[in-house]
Amino acid sequence: MPRTTMRLSLCLLALVASSTAFVWLGRPVAAQAPPAAGQAPDAAQAEFFESAIRPLLADNCHACHSAQIGTPFGGLRLDSREGLLAGGDSGPVIVPGRPDESPLVQRLHGRPMLMPPLGPLAADDIAAITRWVEMGAPWPEATLAAAGADPPDPSAPFDLPERRRAHWAWQPVQAGEPPAVDDDAWPATPVDRFVLAALDEAGLAPAPDADRAALVRRLSFDLRGLPSTPAETARFAGDGSPSAYADLVDRFLESPHFGERWARHWMDLFRYSESHGSEGDPDIPFAWRYRDYLIRAFNDDVPYDRLIREHLAGDLLPDPRLAADGRTNESMIGPANFRLIEHGFQPVDPWEDRVKWIDNQVDVASKAFLGLTVSCARCHDHKFDAISQKDYYSFFGTLYGARPTVRAVDSQAVLETNLDALAALKADIRGLLAAAWSAAAESVGDERRAALEPAADEADGAEDAAADRVDEAEAGPAPDPASGSVLAAWQALAEVDAADFPGAWRELRADWDAEIAHRERYNAEHFEPKWDLTGPDYAAMVGHGTGLTATPSKPGEFAVEQRGDLLLTGIYPGGAYTHLLSTKHPGVIQTPSFEVDSDYISFRVMGGDLSFVNLIIENYAVPRGGIYHLRHSPKTDEMGWVQWDTEFWKGFNAYIEFATQDDATRFQLDPEDSRLRHRPMRRGDGRSFIGASRIVFHDEKRTPKETVLPILSLLVGDAEDAASA
């Protein structure tokens, strides 16, 4: 395909169907005599009835006047032509061919009473019904019945091949000959022959050729949306070469303003907006990136089929398209079109809101790429186009499984910058620390003993408390005990004579074995373990970001400190963490979807720098307090339990998201909005971190008891080994 044609096809193809439909709806339908009994409506009449009249009757009349209810109001049925002609208690409601004498039309105007009772139809709808009655009220099923044929069975299987055979729009494209015209000298292209033939049929003559100044001005407005400059006009006016026009087109196509001009039309099809609408009207995070992505796509001659793939699944393509500098994953931005939806403001029924916006996503994508109203098949097979209800819900189901998210659009090479170097540096740090700690191990006992002398009383108290806990555990359920102090236990053992050490060690170990057994029984009785991110459950998570690892971190993993003189920020238990190499690495962990069926959800988490844990209800991505308040921003580098009261959301679909600051699924705060100044300010340096290990469901307001404690690391092995150590 020539370059110019390719560029303009990209701009115009998706617009043709919707523009044609608009013109068709606005064209007048001439009055016709009523069809004779058994005479089928012609194609135009059937098309008009199916697209304009049947939906009006179904939406506004069938609830009271159809077979949907046992006894139609007033004995009147409006779901068949026979019902309209038979009428109800007051007689027939239409006189085919004479709308002024038809009670149905009079009721729509409020004479003597208004129908439908909840409010008048739009003027265009009343005009459509008036035209239909004037045409003779054609009804395809009625003419079939009058001719002795069976009307279509609404419960019959959808016959897609037959639907395709029945209308010219579904036939394969075939080459055709341009029409013959009287003036063979005027057409410059085969398309011109179609234009001239239509003008001849209407008795019109073509407009005279534009002068060169007008031509360059028109072309500039069409392709760039801007007037031509005096220099451009003069250059074209003075260029007498045969390629002058083609060269001018190419220059305008090379202009960056071409993408700005034509991407606007694409954005109109995908209802581009930078906020979600409704009362709250929250900003859509980074919506401008989708706008600029389209501008670049038009300027870079991205093929139409490639742009469709990127819009539907750009984040899943095995060969993503990169920007010219190789730093941006352009394909990743395409699915952002699905985020351009209206969200209700804190909807009390988020499921209804979700159905509405998915239906809108289906409607927008199908109109833009197919030129079809696929959403018409939401409640039944399409009445005119070859679209089944199954087709609709296949598309709906695909979008239902998708989730709103915030993704880094850097290329993989950019995302992985310095990853290997940081991992190697951390390995070196691990080796140096191991060597230093091993060298210090011989003296650490004496140093700790000297430091812990003031804690002797604490050690004695801890030992007595441990013995009491064992007695309570043996006697039955015990109250929640203190976690114990590693240093206090160490001091207690250090005070024991060598001969008595094995017995003291075994006694302390037995105390804590009993304590842990009690805690495990308590947790098993009161909590339903849902996901344990320290083990195989980690693989079931939906995650992305360079901060995450392929497998969960093992106990003893540490994070490197990037600031100051320290090497480590902490040594952690097993779990999932985003900052083990750097707090600049992003990460998002999302659980599988689940139905909320418990009064409480608790999770073990740590994090900081405005990282977030969100409960995403029915994919509603704009929590702003109120009933959508289940949001937590951890401010600690130690794992701890957080509890949510989820009773209100029981029965709804949800998932839990753990995310670093810039990657949480959220609305965008406007930093200039004075109402938001009480909120914590964003760091602005890209640093954030989060970690998680366990999620449990429960119906009582309790907190799970810890079963992984620092003191247990002191009690590994046997007593003799511990004594010699």
Quick one: 391 and 439 in the same domain? no
C-beta atoms surrounding 152 within 10 Å: 11
Quick one: 262 and 380 in the same domain? yes
Q: Is the dihedral of CA 611, 615, 619, 621 positive or negative?
A: negative
Quick one: 595 and 611 in the same domain? yes
The predicted pLDDT at position 654 comes to 96
Quick check: 138 and 52 in contact, CB under 8 A? no
Quick one: 38 and 145 in the same domain? yes
DSSP 109-171: TTSSS-SSTT-PPPHHHHHHHHHHHHTT---HHHHHHHTTPPPP-TTSPP-HHHHHHTSGGGS
Quick one: 94 and 115 in the same domain? yes
- 0.85 cut: is pTM over it? no
- How far apart, in whole angstroms, are the C-alpha atoms of residue 621 and residue 642? 21
CA angle 387, 391, 396 (to 5 degrees): 130
Does residue 200 lie in a domain region? no
Tokens found for residue 11 = 């701009």
Quick one: 409 and 471 in the same domain? no
Does residue 120 lie in a domain region? yes
Does residue 559 lie in a domain region? yes
C-beta atoms surrounding 385 within 10 Å: 23
Task: Give the residue ranges of the chain where pLDDT is below 50.
Answer: 1-34, 36-38, 144, 146-147, 455-456, 459, 467, 469-483, 668-681, 683
Tokens found for residue 79 = 């779901």
The predicted pLDDT at position 26 comes to 29
Output b/e per residue, 506-539; b: 16+ Cβ within 10 A.
ebbbebbebbbebbeebbeeebeebbbbbeebbe
Q: Is the dihedral of CA 165, 167, 172, 175 positive or negative?
A: positive
Quick check: 602 and 688 in contact, CB under 8 A? no
The predicted pLDDT at position 25 comes to 27
Beta strands in 164-288 (DSSP E): none
Q: Is the dihedral of CA 59, 64, 70, 71 positive or negative?
A: negative
The predicted pLDDT at position 716 comes to 62
Which domain range does residue 627 map to? 530-703
Quick one: 567 and 635 in the same domain? yes
The predicted pLDDT at position 684 comes to 61
Domain boundary among 464, 498, 527: 527
Cβ neighbours of residue 182 closer than 8 Å, sequence gap 6 or more: 200
Quick one: 277 and 407 in the same domain? yes
Does residue 499 lie in a domain region? yes
Does residue 243 lie in a domain region? no
Bridge pairing between strands 636-645 and 588-590: unpaired
DSSP character at residue 531: E
CB-based burial of residue 197 (10 Å sphere; 0-12 exposed, 13-18 middle, 19+ buried)? middle
User: Residue 607 sits in a domain of what CATH number?
Assistant: 2.60.120
The predicted pLDDT at position 486 comes to 63
The predicted pLDDT at position 703 comes to 94
Domain boundary among 113, 141, 156: 156
The predicted pLDDT at position 17 comes to 31
Cβ neighbours of residue 374 closer than 8 Å, sequence gap 6 or more: 362, 363, 366, 367, 382, 387, 391, 392, 395
Main-chain dihedrals φ then ψ at residue 560, nearest 5 degrees: -85, 135
Domain boundary among 132, 156, 180: 156
Tokens found for residue 578 = 């985003």
Does residue 183 lie in a domain region? no
Quick one: 436 and 476 in the same domain? yes
- How far apart, in whole angstroms, are the C-alpha atoms of residue 361 and residue 210? 43
Does residue 152 lie in a domain region? yes
3-state secondary structure 436-505: HHHHHHHHHHHHHHHHCHHHHHHHHHHHHHHHHHHHHHHHCCCCCCCCCCHHHHHHHHHCCCCCCHHHHH
Quick one: 438 and 539 in the same domain? no
Residue 572: strand pairing partners: 557
Quick one: 385 and 498 in the same domain? no
Split into its structural domains, the chain has a count of: 4
Does residue 190 lie in a domain region? no
DSSP H stretches of helix in 286-349: 287-299, 304-313
Cβ neighbours of residue 190 closer than 8 Å, sequence gap 6 or more: 178
Tokens found for residue 279 = 């009362």
DSSP character at residue 638: E
CA angle 186, 188, 194 (to 5 degrees): 75
Of residues 372, 392, 396, 386, the one with CA closest to residue 158: 386
Cis peptide leading into 2, omega within 30 of 0? no
- How far apart, in whole angstroms, are the C-alpha atoms of residue 277 and residue 279? 7
Quick one: 424 and 504 in the same domain? yes
- The CA–CA distances, whole Å, from 634 to 163, 265, 281, 588, 669 equal 58, 44, 27, 15, 19
